[in-house]
Structure 1
């Protein structure tokens, strides 16, 4: 590296004065020895970082109780993080020095690179000393045996402390009656697919409690029965050996035979003992489906016999048919309070809560969010201390009480321990979001990619891999789905509060992150790696310098003072993620351009009006989210950021928004065509040269274009047609009178599932390729302001058999809309809004067989109840709002409210 710099200096010597050249070379020569050794040392510490990572992953803090060992691992993590910082800085500047123009720019100013690489060399020396120190600490304070965790021993200990290890009496069971009846019914059902039954849910929901109760009640009716605890550490031999013992192995002498049998011998012994017998086998706490498939051949003559599997994982639950899968949910508020009282007031008649404790007891139960494990733990803890002050104190520290409780932590840690290293990072990252926060799938995925938690695998992009990780955490019941989008994908999810507290505790122990408030933030470790904070004040950041900070999340809380953000940025030169969504920030300081490591900027729904030109220096930036801000124009040099993958922007200035243009696109960067890695581009204004610029952006998946004129259509739509990966497309005309022609929109991408069109259609649009040729691929279609004059439902139905979401908004059409039998066979959501001419809706029997939600809003002429609506048996949600005054009267007189009792949610 030193030689490379000196050669570069010699090469550009002609642009410097002789004295300046000598001065630069002299400065470099001062540390030339260190600089020569720098690449070698960087490679050495890279290897040491890998070794540290192996140590950390092998000896996690989850199963360790020795505080000395925990402290030492914490020091190892700090050194590893320091190594990561040095490597990032080194890699960045090595890349920059290869660009001669960049090199000239800085050498003209002086000895920039001499200083930079001298600083890196100094840091390498410092890192080497830190590594020597942790090695010395290990040799001085730790014995080898302390560094070896015994997962088998620990898991067995934890398993013995399961939430309900004993049989719970019927009178102490709460909220499981319906599930018990259902499960019992399945045991005696004659349906052939009912042999295997699965019960799933997150740790602590009471799966084993429910199944234990049913098993103890019904096992007498099964001549052969056995309860086998599987857990994470198992061998096929051990499982078969336990099964053989429990179904009646009585050969003598006992130890002479069974302990020496292999899998084949054990199966051979089991099979005749189950032959011609009705049996009930419970496999409790199964983590992988292979458990069942490795031993299922011993189960034969299954008529009348049952196997029950309890699991935390959805893919294990998939062993049974969907009709024999029971997914447990948290307790209702009423059942949760009842369970709490039975534990807290177990020695009182009727388990009644005293009036003076009723309010605080309700608050405590609410914070447990229906998790039986948490409710029982806290109820038992409070049963011996029933003073109001003590209960208030417990409530104030409830989450830490639960996350630090050995009993609770043992159960939830099993799920954490089962995660791979990348899944652990993704899981812990979720605790940075506030309590009960709905985490967007798209934002989580982009954050995980920016953090480097996921990499591309074969043909899958990092985003695809990250989305797979999200689904894995959901399938493991470690994240809860809040809602699904119109295409059936997870739209947002959240963390159960108790799980979040556990994650916060682990994240703190493992030096991964800190989620804290203002009061504790000013006292935190200055080497904190990731920080999520709330309660920021105008002068908060000015008092805090966090030189190792990689991630700053402050959702909706950061001060509007420019000095606050400037202080954060100036003190955190390695910052990778800056997420300030919904915050009061109004200005982004120019110094943000010096953060070479920045990969993610989130300013959604802030009052920022512009971005500094220095942002063009962020060569590593992957995501820029400035949706719903006041930014009207992007920086001129944004197109220089060639690594940008997601550009999300729209102008939310009130003056520019109209009913037609409820969002306004921003002007595309001049060098947009250089950004070849772009996957998301939302939302840009159309222009004369946009089609040409888009030709090189063949990685685009989601593209939203606003302000399209009729003259743009031919070139623009031809370019869009050639994008091979396009999946989401929004096209908005410049105003409601601009008629767009779609004859040149012939999508090559079979993945184009979502299409949104706002504006008039040129005549004959329904005969264009986007509907005739591509219609079978569309799953989401939203049409606004495109006045068809005919029945759009009748016109669209033949071309869109796979549509799951259809929205028609603000258009003129025929007075009568008819949905014939078999139309839209996969449609789940129908949204009709501001359909100005519609006076009648007619659903013929057999239409919309899968419809779940229907929104009929602001149809000013619809004064009659939609005919045949009672035939929509799958309907779950019906909104009939903003209709003529006489509609409600007609609704009641028709008796329709009695005819659609199968619809659980109705708003009229």
Structure 2
């Protein structure tokens, strides 16, 4: 967790250093007079920053630093935050009105006034005395922090001595060791996974096979691997010539350390066990045996190998493998071996160790456990290798394990008290199918003298504090914290940021990435946009199994996730400890650890806005409020230093609450999505740092004229799409929900990357303004195709053909109907958008424009009311990268829809929605060989039905939605009964899901 402190602190200092450098770059006379003073502050902070980086990358960081280091780092971070806030306020000065007026001379004059204020603050010239006092205090605090580090001996060396440099000196056991000693009778839900893996191990495959078990920490990967090797089929295999020791590959992996661990496992642990037995019998035990390994940390690898003498031959063989002394034993290739490598954290660790296990063509096996999917893919890169993704326990298995742990029996010991069952359901919901959490909390409840509802409810309500203080839950906390500690330096603040979302909240990928960027957590990389870098951060959490996946789209991209409730408790605790975030929770509880709140999340409707918090909210950088809150808090207008304001779903947010946000001059992210707001404030243009404006699912129809000053805006998101299925694959844009664009509003928004659901009808010049946005990547436009608009619209498409990657066009006539044909105009494009990856078109065509066949990069294609014929299906079937095809209402005009052999080779999702003329839907043999999900909706039963489903060999699900026709569903259920892949059939009627087979 120290890495979190360092990451947060170094990030805060880095942001301030940039601003101090800007002051030093000023050539005005006042700036020159304060040059020496500002340079002192900058140099001091740079030195602190270098120390922080050393702390983060030192070997001791894995073991943890002492309290002095933690406290010092927190103090530095608070100084940097305060200084940055102070400078932001003064830099703004009177510059904001000038910027809003577009007068560069006033802006320059305001900047000069700030320099004079800074000069006065540092005692060089005049200036406001309160300004001077604040900045003199900050300078003194920076100087004192530097001196304090020396005065109290805060250093890496001191931390290493006091911390011991390793976990062994702390006296704590490795929390993963519980998996070594769990009795099989206590396990639940392991039989199926174990038998599947045993089958992989025992398959007739002479080549070396690696089996990787991957999943979230605490799911039981180590236990499963041990059960596989301990199964009668594997143990009874006479050709396995060695007993598998459990090899724990730590986060700080090295060959030597691994070798030392093996020696301890194979020599020391059995002798300790014997000594314990002897001591229990009164003999005192033979402790002299432990002397054999004293001082082993200093031994060379050869000396370590020599100590393998005396170990049984079959176990010594594994030692020789791992120590990379394969050449010592010439008969090594005669044996078939099986080993477990537990908890591998990085691909580099695997690369270092894999050469120690030769493929002797004897059917040897390596079982790897890891939390990282990328590591699993690296380990299992050959055709014969296998990856097993371990799943959470089902509700029934979770309940069985829980009551078995408390009462000793799964059913007979379950409580008869309905209230106790209700509390246990709440506890199990928090455990989320995590065996480690279920066992730990069950053990805690079993130790309570009174098994009452009140006692159990207290544990459920205070799980966060129990994790902090109760020894029974310490192992669970350590296991979860291991995943956090292994995060790269730049990801720790990003993951800690997830603590602002409440339990069971679905976190969407796009908004989260934009919040990270607004907070300054995402670092620019050459050749990538900030959004692309942020998405890679998100993918890291997915790969490391640190979040639970909620929605995966047709391309395999994770669109949303949740944080496990127990993991959320851990990061909330750490957020409070480091003053990263504060929380207002149930019953008015305030979880605040510092007098200055930096990020604030109001989570419960029971929090009253009438409450008066004693903590300062003037320094809050992120504010988020749950939808259940009834009133805007009284302190809302005081949040003037906000970077992120997330009010999504807050029904209490109204027009009258919005005026004050125009004074939040540092605001970069503003989400009013799904609120009752209908008009944006007249002075919204004052937010000249704003990067994201999300007004989707609101009543806002138009931007005020001052929005033209939002020159930093990158994402303008409007419109209202309804989700018609649980998977969000079927969406419908509400009529007239687009944002009406007026002349001149977006002319200066040169940084725009996303312009979503804008409506253009009366001002064709808006097309010309959009055409100048060369950074635009996503464009969704509702276009009224009156004659005067056609030419500028086509010019826009020509000018943006090389930059836009996602294009959505809705074409209507002057009355808002789709009656005019747009085929002729679209066919006349000189430079069609051939690089787009997503294309959606609502409008009458009859046939496809010729350039559609050249869309070689398109992966998603959506058509509505296009009235295509059979020849268009053959064209679409040739799009080599198409993964998702959505044919909505009136997109197809013929009565037979036949998908040809060899067509749609990569399509995974097909949607057919209310094709009114359709009488037959057929899939030829060899068509859509990779189709996994077929989503259908019918107004009536097609006369000739649906056929050829057995030709879709990878089909996993047939989904019906909307007004479901039961006769069609019944025939499909009957048809897929003989399908080799056994796809399920589901009905989603207004998000009420029914499974039919």
The structure-2 alpha-carbon separation of the partners of 1:615 and 1:743, relative to structure 1 and needing over 3 Å to count, comes to same
Structure 1 residue 313: deviation in Å? 0.9
1:322-345 CA distance string (max 9 Å, x none) = 751111111111111121222212
Partners of 1:461 and 1:858 lie apart in 2 by 42
Q: Which residue of 2 aligns with 1:368?
A: 431
Asked if 1 retains the 8 angstrom alpha-carbon contact of 2:919 and 2:944, the reply is yes
Q: Are 2:798 and 1:730 aligned?
A: no
The structure-2 alpha-carbon separation of the partners of 1:737 and 1:371, relative to structure 1 and needing over 3 Å to count, comes to same
Superposition map of 1:362-761 within 5 A: 362-385=425-448, 386-388=450-452, 389-402=454-467, 405-517=473-585, 519-521=588-590, 525-534=594-603, 535=605, 536-540=607-611, 545-559=616-630, 564=633, 567-569=635-637, 571-584=638-651, 585-587=653-655, 588-650=657-719, 661=735, 663-668=737-742, 670-686=744-760, 687-709=763-785, 711=787, 712-723=789-800, 724-734=802-812, 735=816, 736-740=818-822, 741-745=825-829, 751-761=835-845
SS at match of 1:739: coil
Structure 1 residue 498: deviation in Å? 0.8
What TM-score, normalized to structure 1? 0.86
1:304-324 CA distance string (max 9 Å, x none) = 111111111111111115751
Q: Which residue of 2 aligns with 1:201?
A: 215
Q: Which residue of 2 aligns with 1:814?
A: 894
Asked if 1 retains the 8 angstrom alpha-carbon contact of 2:208 and 2:364, the reply is no
Q: Which residue of 1 aligns with 2:848?
A: 766
SS at match of 2:928: coil
Superposition map of 1:881-896 within 5 A: 887=967, 891=971, 895-896=974-975
The structure-2 alpha-carbon separation of the partners of 1:157 and 1:112, relative to structure 1 and needing over 3 Å to count, comes to closer
Asked if 2 retains the 8 angstrom alpha-carbon contact of 1:578 and 1:602, the reply is yes
1:654-697 CA distance string (max 9 Å, x none) = xxx99872632321561423222111111222341123212321
SS at match of 2:862: strand
Partners of 1:486 and 1:421 lie apart in 2 by 32
Q: Which shifted more, 604-613 or 541-550?
A: 541-550
Asked if 1 retains the 8 angstrom alpha-carbon contact of 2:664 and 2:687, the reply is yes
Partners of 1:33 and 1:124 lie apart in 2 by 17
Q: Which residue of 2 aligns with 1:327?
A: 389
Aligned residues: 869
Asked if 1 retains the 8 angstrom alpha-carbon contact of 2:209 and 2:366, the reply is yes
Superposition map of 1:19-418 within 5 A: 39-40=38-39, 43-44=42-43, 46-47=45-46, 50-51=49-50, 53-54=52-53, 57=56, 70-89=70-89, 101-102=103-104, 104=106, 118=128, 120-134=131-145, 147-148=159-160, 149-150=163-164, 152-153=166-167, 160-162=174-176, 164-191=178-205, 195-217=209-231, 218=234, 221=237, 222-224=240-242, 225-240=244-259, 259-260=302-303, 266-268=324-326, 272=330, 274-300=332-358, 301-318=360-377, 319-320=379-380, 321=382, 324-346=386-408, 352-356=413-417, 357-385=420-448, 386-388=450-452, 389-402=454-467, 405-418=473-486
SS at match of 1:627: coil
The structure-2 alpha-carbon separation of the partners of 1:511 and 1:816, relative to structure 1 and needing over 3 Å to count, comes to same
Structure 1 residue 46: deviation in Å? 4.7
SS at match of 2:432: coil
Gaps of 5+ in 2: 1-21, 119-126, 269-291, 306-319, 723-730, 988-995
1:746-766 CA distance string (max 9 Å, x none) = 6666641111111222x6x51
Gaps of 5+ in 1: 9-27
The structure-2 alpha-carbon separation of the partners of 1:523 and 1:843, relative to structure 1 and needing over 3 Å to count, comes to closer
Asked if 2 retains the 8 angstrom alpha-carbon contact of 1:862 and 1:883, the reply is no
The structure-2 alpha-carbon separation of the partners of 1:897 and 1:485, relative to structure 1 and needing over 3 Å to count, comes to closer
Asked if 2 retains the 8 angstrom alpha-carbon contact of 1:281 and 1:307, the reply is yes
1:436-468 CA distance string (max 9 Å, x none) = 111111111111111111122110111111100
1:114-152 CA distance string (max 9 Å, x none) = 668745543321112323454566567677676444553
Partners of 1:109 and 1:293 lie apart in 2 by 55
Structure 1 residue 472: deviation in Å? 0.7
Partners of 2:327 and 2:413 lie apart in 1 by 53
Partners of 2:935 and 2:107 lie apart in 1 by 60
Structure 1 residue 424: deviation in Å? 0.4
Partners of 1:530 and 1:52 lie apart in 2 by 26
Partners of 2:173 and 2:115 lie apart in 1 by 58
Q: Are 2:923 and 1:843 aligned?
A: yes
Alignment root-mean-square deviation, CA: 3.9
Asked if 2 retains the 8 angstrom alpha-carbon contact of 1:672 and 1:694, the reply is yes
SS at match of 1:164: helix
Q: Which shifted more, 525-534 or 860-869?
A: 860-869
Q: Are 2:942 and 1:862 aligned?
A: yes
Partners of 1:889 and 1:288 lie apart in 2 by 47
Structure 1 residue 651: deviation in Å? 7.1
Partners of 2:641 and 2:107 lie apart in 1 by 23
SS at match of 1:731: strand
Structure 1 residue 229: deviation in Å? 1.3
Structure 1 residue 66: deviation in Å? 5.8
Asked if 2 retains the 8 angstrom alpha-carbon contact of 1:806 and 1:830, the reply is yes
Structure 1 residue 302: deviation in Å? 4.0
The structure-2 alpha-carbon separation of the partners of 1:395 and 1:767, relative to structure 1 and needing over 3 Å to count, comes to closer
Structure 1 residue 371: deviation in Å? 0.5
Structure 1 residue 276: deviation in Å? 0.8
The structure-2 alpha-carbon separation of the partners of 1:173 and 1:429, relative to structure 1 and needing over 3 Å to count, comes to same
Asked if 2 retains the 8 angstrom alpha-carbon contact of 1:79 and 1:131, the reply is yes
SS at match of 2:903: coil
Partners of 1:524 and 1:160 lie apart in 2 by 30
Partners of 1:855 and 1:432 lie apart in 2 by 36
